[in-house]
Amino acid sequence: MNESLWIFGYGSIIWKTGFDYDESRLAYLPDRARRFWQASTDHRGTIASPGRVVTLIDQPGENCWGMAFKVPSASVELTLSNLDVREVGGYERESVTIHFPDKDPVRGLTYTAHPANPNYLGPASAVDIASQIASSEGPSGSNNEYVFELALALDNLQVEDPHIQDIAGLLKERTDTENAP
């Protein structure tokens, strides 16, 4: 590869980037939204007890806010092969146009788990999603931690995402209740 590459992160890539980049920017994908609709059997859950992690859905009129990272040309090949492994389990590379609040859009890529993949769970109520997450843990840690890290990262970026906030709020209530004297 002899060109740099923009990668859009909307999940763990925001707070656990794990690759070299020259520049990072607050960014969004128009007409898309982040949802806990993908099962995780390898990171935040197991095959016997899958967790839930985020994917991107089409949502006309909404913006999915995240972070875009500009990977230098020398690191593109290694970064993509590492991400392909890290995001195995239903995610595929998707070419996207990445938008910024105050700069021209750029072409780049993101990882999306489409409905046809075997780990796709689809919609459920916030309460059901939170219960599944509360009881899931995998090699990368608890599913709760994933949600709290994502909610904190979005908060730090001053991004409001009601779906994430609802689920993080329900999980916080559950952990507060469990830890109450």
Q: What are the residue numbers of the active site?
A: 87
In the list 10, 28, 65, 146, the residue contacting ligand BEZ (rule: CB under 6 A) is 10
How far apart (Å, rounded) are the C-alpha atoms in residues 71 and 91? 20
Q: Which of 5-13, 100-108, 141-149, 163-171 is the region at the interface with ligand BEZ (rule: CB under 6 A)?
A: 5-13
Given the structure tokens 């709760």, which residue do they identify?
Answer: 144
Note whether 137 binds ligand BEZ by CB under 6 A: no
Query: Which residues are 65's β-sheet partners?
Result: 28
Closest approach, Cβ 180 to ligand BEZ, in A, equals 33
Q: Which region holds residue 172: left if phi is over 0, alpha if psi is between -120 and 50, else beta?
A: alpha
Note whether 13 binds ligand BEZ by CB under 6 A: yes
φ and ψ at residue 32, rounded to 5 degrees: -135, 155
Closest approach, Cβ 167 to ligand BEZ, in A, equals 16
Q: Which region holds residue 18: left if phi is over 0, alpha if psi is between -120 and 50, else beta?
A: left
Question: CA 156 from chain center: how many Å?
Answer: 15
Note whether 138 binds ligand BEZ by CB under 6 A: no
In the list 28, 65, 69, 91, the residue contacting ligand BEZ (rule: CB under 6 A) is 91
- CA atoms within a 13 Å half-sphere pointing along the CA-CB vector of 164: 25
Of all residues in the chain, what percent are helix, strand and coil, respectively (each to 5)?
35, 35, 30
How big is the site for ligand BEZ, counted in residues (CB under 6 A)? 10
In the list 6, 11, 159, 167, the residue contacting ligand BEZ (rule: CB under 6 A) is 11
In the list 6, 60, 84, 87, the residue contacting ligand BEZ (rule: CB under 6 A) is 87
- Chain residues in the site for ligand BEZ (CB under 6 A): 9-14, 87, 91, 110-111
